[in-house]
Amino acid sequence: MARIDESRPFIPVRIAILTVSDTRTLADDRSGQTLEDLVRTAGHEVIERAIVPDDVDEIRMIVSTWISEERIDVVITTGGTGFTGRDVTPDALEPLFDKRMDGFSAVFHRLSYDKIGTSTIQSRATAGVAGRTFVFCLPGSPGACRDAWDGILAAQLDYRHRPCNFVEIMPRLDEHLKRGKLQGA
């Protein structure tokens, strides 16, 4: 059964938050603010927070920059996961993934279904690993952000969570890249 092992130290994770929206500003970005509050309350660091329009190139550019920065362990986006013409976050970011995290989407939809029923199918929430960075793409509502954080991310980003968590594997996320460089050297 999942539990917190109090004998292990808490290790803060360095997180960047991106809101994808054509209409929001930092002053009225409730989803981004919800994530920032949850991240800080949990004891993690918010390294960057930004808003970009629903544009594949702009989304990909900022997240690519964050992925390349060693000071960022996790990128969480909110918005742009639906089906309208302007909802392009998964389209922008999935090509950056070295590995998809299909389980994230499955668990997110399971949690969401318990709250909003079949409306959960209107989200293309996704996640993956890009280089040595975890990337999570959440819907653009404060409720969905809170559900993803409370139901998945809070535990998986806590080194004390047992039986396993993302923090303990972070040092090994880019092994495949290092092996590739060594083989080609």
Is residue 3 included in any domain, yes or no? no
Domains of the chain: total: 1
Please report the pLDDT score of residue 183 as a whole number: 46
Do the domain assignments include residue 119? yes
Ordered per-residue pLDDT tens for the chain, 185 residues:
789 999 999 999 999 999 999 999 999 999 999 999 999 999 999 999 999 999 999 999 999 999 999 999 999 999 999 999 999 999 999 999 999 999 999 999 999 999 999 999 999 999 999 999 999 999 999 999 999 999 999 999 999 999 999 999 999 988 766 655 444 44
On whether residue 40 sits in a domain, the answer given is yes
Q: Largest Cα–Cα distance in the chain?
A: 52
CATH number at 55 reads 3.40.980.10
- The pTM score is 0.94
DSSP 86: T
Residue 2: predicted pLDDT = 83
**Does residue 4 lie within any of the structural domains?**
no
User: Residue 167 domain-assigned?
Assistant: yes
The answer to whether residue 113 sits within a structural domain is yes
Residue 14 lies in a domain: yes
Element (H, E) at 58: helix 56-68
Domain that holds residue 125: 9-184
In a domain, 2, yes or no: no
Q: What is the pLDDT of residue 178?
A: 64
Give the CA distances from residue 116 to residues 42, 50, 67, 119, 161, in Å, rounded to whole numbers and listed in that order. 25, 28, 32, 6, 27
Residue with tokens 């994770």: 13
